[in-house]
């Protein structure tokens, strides 16, 4: 029998793509979600279990019923800007929910975890062109703080309980499944590429650029944009790795391209691929936005045998544009 994987938050953007990738790789994926932000039509697993991550008893029951061997944890609040305004829900869900999940795993005897972490744990470390996993965790917003806290908790659980964990530090997830099965649709939407695409479609009045005075070539923030299908394959590679080792521990691994793109470069790519013009409004910086976040992805390549295949900016925008057009036509 192939490995049974519980995908917590599997009805969300990255979770749905990862569920598809797991099944294509021969795993049996089971989706666990409370639908606070996920979508029922994005559940592609063998079974859907509706429940909250903080419901330890239900998680234990689920893990035992479906004979779960590994868990992938996506269930987090992710809006960094909002975390500055209302931090408590981020700690309640992202930290408190993970504690409940870890308690359930320990009770059910499940020792393998792939955790959805973030490049936000690095904060604003502008002294280095590429961010490597051995840098200190210095987040600059409560969202990043919550993820850094979870990484610390995972280290303690690895030492105390034999947990085998990989914390995948994402850079900027974007794009959509090339076959159109899933894509980005947060409510409210806060991510740059879908916001710009909606401006190009005319479903949004304009696109706002927050900060044009950063220490970058064009004055706007630089990010490492990674196609969601490449992120999904990184999770499959992480499960593969954990299945092949007996060693307990918590290993952080970047998932990124090593190439930075500015906000203005993204806007220009959308204009080029959509062949549409739209209104751009420049505004002041937002609190908690680092200047540059670009990955050193060497560890993912060497440890997991992973590499990006779809993450050039034009492919990302083209796939996301096709998905947004389909959504607008429904």
Q: Which residues are catalytic?
A: 143
Of 206, 200, 219, the C-alpha closest to 291 is 219
Rounded to 10 degrees, the C-alpha dihedral 173/210/148/164 comes to 0
Pairing of strands 225-227, 172-174: parallel
C-alpha dist (Å) from residue 1 to 5, 28, 69, 165: 12, 9, 11, 23
Buried/exposed code over 33-70 (b: 16+ C-beta within 10 A; e: otherwise): bbeebbeeebbbbeebbebbbbbbebbbebbeebebbb
Can you tell me the distance from the alpha carbon of 15 to that of 217, in angstroms, rounded to the nearest whole number?
34
Locate the DSSP E strands across the chain.
4-8, 28-33, 47-50, 70-73, 112-118, 164-170, 172-174, 207-210, 222-223, 225-227, 249-255, 261-262, 280-283, 292-293
3-state class (DSSP) for residue 180 = coil
Token pair in block for residue 125: 């470390």
Pairing of strands 4-8, 28-33: parallel
């Amino acid at each position: 029998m192939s490995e049974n994987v519980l995908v917590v938050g599997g009805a969300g953007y990255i979770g749905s793509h990862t569920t598809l990738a797991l099944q294509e790789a021969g795993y049996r994926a089971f989706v666990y979600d409370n639908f606070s932000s996920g979508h029922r039509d994005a559940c592609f697993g063998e079974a859907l279990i509706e429940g909250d991550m903080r419901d330890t008893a239900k998680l234990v029951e689920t893990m035992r019923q479906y004979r779960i061997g590994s868990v992938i944890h996506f269930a987090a609040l992710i809006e960094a800007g909002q975390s500055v305004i209302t931090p408590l829900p981020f700690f309640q869900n992202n930290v408190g929910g993970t504690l409940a999940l870890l308690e359930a795993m320990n009770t059910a005897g499940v020792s393998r975890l792939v955790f959805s972490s973030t490049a936000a744990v690095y904060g604003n470390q502008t002294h280095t062109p590429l961010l490597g996993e051995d840098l200190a965790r210095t987040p600059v917003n409560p969202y990043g703080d919550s993820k850094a806290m979870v990484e610390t908790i995972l280290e303690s659980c690895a030492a105390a309980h034999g947990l085998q964990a990989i914390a995948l530090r994402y850079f900027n997830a974007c794009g959509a499944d090339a076959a159109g099965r899933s894509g980005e649709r947060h409510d409210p939407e806060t991510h740059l590429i879908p916001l710009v695409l909606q401006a190009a479609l005319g479903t949004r009045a304009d696109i706002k650029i927050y900060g044009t005075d950063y220490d970058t070539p064009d004055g706007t923030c630089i990010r490492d944009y990674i196609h969601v299908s490449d992120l999904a394959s990184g999770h499959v590679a992480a499960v593969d790795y954990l299945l092949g080792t007996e060693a307990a521990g918590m290993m952080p691994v970047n998932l990124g391209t090593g190439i930075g793109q500015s906000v203005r470069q993204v806007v220009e790519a959308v204009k080029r691929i959509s062949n549409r013009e739209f209104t751009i409004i420049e505004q002041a910086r937002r609190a908690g936005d680092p200047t540059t976040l670009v990955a050193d992805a060497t560890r993912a390549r060497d440890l997991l045998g992973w590499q990006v295949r779809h993450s050039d900016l034009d492919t990302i925008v083209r796939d996301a544009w096709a998905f947004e057009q389909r959504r607008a036509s429904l």
